[in-house]
Structure 1
């Protein structure tokens, strides 16, 4: 009965399946794809294990001679009166570079010139005094020697007279004794005795006069000899005083001339690298007028590094250099070696003075780099490097494998955790 209730088609429809059986499709080149994927994974793993990454620190600097440039600076404010040099000129030592004048004009004329004229007059007067002093010294010595000779002669004569007067007194006394004896015997009168006494007294007085003259001559002779001994000392004292005055005037003349005009000369043999002033220009004290590059000077790179990177820099380290005047994309990179690192950081003002960069805001260390070549191959010829050229430098501060860079945060985290 149930079979008659539903039609046969309904039973057949229920027996029909909507979904078929699962069939897996494998393309014929599936193994090639699997091999490529495995190879890529292997290469990536090998790259992480054996590959490395170099961390570089880039800094800027400038090329300068190893001994530094010779800066020709004005010693005082004034006007450039002469500037006979130009860029590229070869100079010998002491060659004239410039003349700076600080002459001031007043209603009396050129002040420095007037001062120089007065100082020359004073100098000439002192030179005349010095000449006259020499002549006076010669005349004084000659006069003293003549006086000494004359006094010596007088002394000899007075000694002779003194002996004669002494003999006269002895004879007068002897004669007086005889007259007194004769008076006792009645052969001479009192008048004769008195006359003889007067003769003896007169001889004594004349002897005393000669004695005083001898003393006077001896004193004069002693004074003359003392003057002869003192005259050279007096002469040299007076001469030294005049020479000291001459020295002071000469110093004043030099100082006045230095304020009036200064000739700037080359301290060493070299080449004019730059002329920073022109004739007729007013310059200040300390202002650079010209730069001189010493002959046979080797250039070196002076690089400024911040304190963040200086800890990884050491002498002997190789450096990659890129000269701003020779683009590295066209002329390639150059190389050098670190030779010296400053012991202390330079202030921003000092860095600006070396590099000319006024944008520096933090202390920096100076690194000196000896460059491998003093020229660059450009357009088929060697072009010499010029001082003052800008240079960029790459310092290799750290080199690690790739996996070390990847794991570095984990290592840092482990160290922090251990603390």
Structure 2
């Protein structure tokens, strides 16, 4: 019985020795692997900021109240998209509207006067054309009659001369001579009368033309004066309309209403009060604030980064790929501004909108674990403020 037991004990000891050797070998391998990882492996080092926002880089225009007045209408709300010239807000223009309406009535009255003067001018021209045509026709008849009378008078003068010659030779021709003489005298009187009528008709035509010129000149003067008054009334109306339009606050550019003051209908505004700002379309950038110790000397243009939007879990919506574009050279309000450009595809469903808050992680280096351990130990030994820890702190 003792011999088998002895063999079993020896076998167990041999198996235990082999297990110890295997365990030692595995431990050495694990230690070697850990050593390789500790001294050779690279770990990505990030500089993280939770103070980041998406910013739309385009022309931003701030709008102020051009005039003092009471708000009567608000046409747009925060975040609305507007086109160039769209009305945002309207101030009370009732007083100006009354002035514009009055000038409009004056202008309409002057236009009616102009139309009446033009009709009167047309009537004067028509009357002149009718009267002058009749006068010229009468002149033509008188000239024709005068020419006929002169021709007859010349013939009668010849007849009278022959009768006078016969009367001198024959006693019986005296009566014929006297008759011819009376006819010549009558014709001469008729000719003189016709000449007087012809001269009077010519004078009437000249006077008619003079009266027409005078009437035309007077009408032209009245037309010019009325047209000048109409121009002045229209100018005043346009000026008042332009002034009234200043009470309508309009978008000077297309874009999005980025900010809007807390204004209600009926509220009084002072001239120059800031009302809204319009953000023109532009490329989205990421602006992050870092502590100086984390940014200066560590973050440089070209470094890769990832951006996670607040309120949109990256495990569900994904994250944005970005690249450092520039780093501010000066510290402002205890922070260093870092600007990044989004250069990767935007995951579906992830909104990229102006002013969304976000967190930024910038890849600044790749270090071995032992380097990180030594760096952390150095920071711990130096203390949080960069000075060695107080006695007993270790």
CA distance 1:273–1:220, change in 2 (3 Å): same
The residue number in structure 2 matching 1:253 is 240
Spell out the pairing of 1:10-409 with structure 2 (5 A cutoff): 42-44=36-38, 46-47=40-41, 51=42, 53=44, 61-63=52-54, 73-82=63-72, 98-101=89-92, 113=95, 117-185=98-166, 186=168, 187=173, 196=184, 199-200=187-188, 203-204=191-192, 206-207=194-195, 209-210=197-198, 213-214=201-202, 217=205, 220=208, 241=228, 243-258=230-245, 261-262=247-248, 275-279=260-264, 280=267, 282-285=269-272, 287-289=274-276, 300-303=284-287, 312-313=301-302, 319-324=305-310, 334-336=319-321, 359=333, 367=341, 372-373=346-347, 387-396=354-363
Q: Distance in 2 between matches of 1:347 and 1:240?
A: 67
* Secondary structure class of the residue paired with 2:134: helix
Shift of 1:309: 9.4
Label 1:221 to 1:358 Cα distance change in 2 as closer, same or farther (>3 A): farther
- Measure, in 1, the Cα distance between the counterparts of 2:160 and 2:329: 120
* Number of corresponding residues: 334
1:231 CA displacement:
11
- Whether the aligned pair in 2 keeps the contact of 1:76 and 1:284 (CA below 8 Å) is yes
Aligned residues of 1:62 and 1:391 also touching (Cα < 8 A)? yes
Distance, in Å, in 1 between the alignment partners of 2:238 and 2:318 is: 57
CA distance in 1, matches of 2:29, 2:343: 51
Q: So what's the TM-score if we normalise by structure 2?
A: 0.57
Which segments of 5 or more consecutive residues in structure 2 lack a partner in the other structure? Answer: 1-19, 290-294, 372-394
Change (3 A) 1:365 1:42: closer
8 Å Cα contact 1:85/1:97 also seen in 2: yes
For residue 76 of structure 1, give the secondary structure of its aligned residue in structure 2: coil
**Distance in 2 of aligned mates of 1:361 and 1:199:** 126
Q: Aligned in 2, Cα 1:207/1:393: closer, same or farther, shift over 3 Å?
A: farther
Instruction: Give the whole-Å Cα distance in 2 for the aligned partners of 1:234 and 1:358.
Output: 73
TM-score by length of 1: 0.54
Q: Any stretches of 5+ residues in structure 1 without a counterpart? A: 1-27, 104-111, 349-356, 377-383, 406-419
1:171 Cα deviation from its structure 2 partner: 0.5
- Measured in 2, the distance between the counterparts of 1:358 and 1:122 equals 57
Q: CA deviation at 1:359?
A: 4.5
Report the CA distance between 1:88 and its aligned residue.
Answer: 8.0
Deviation at 1:203, TM superposition (A): 1.1
Partners of 1:304 and 1:367 within 8 A in 2: no
Deviation sequence 1:47-79 (CA, Å, 0-9, x none): 3xxx3756769696533568889x784441435
Aligned equivalents of 1:247, 1:369: Cα separation in 2: 57
Partner of 2:272, secondary structure, is coil
Does structure 1 conserve the Cα–Cα contact (< 8 Å) formed by 2:156 and 2:180?
no
After superposition, the CA RMSD in angstroms is: 6.0
Asked if the contact 1:321/1:394 (under 8 Å) is kept, the reply is yes
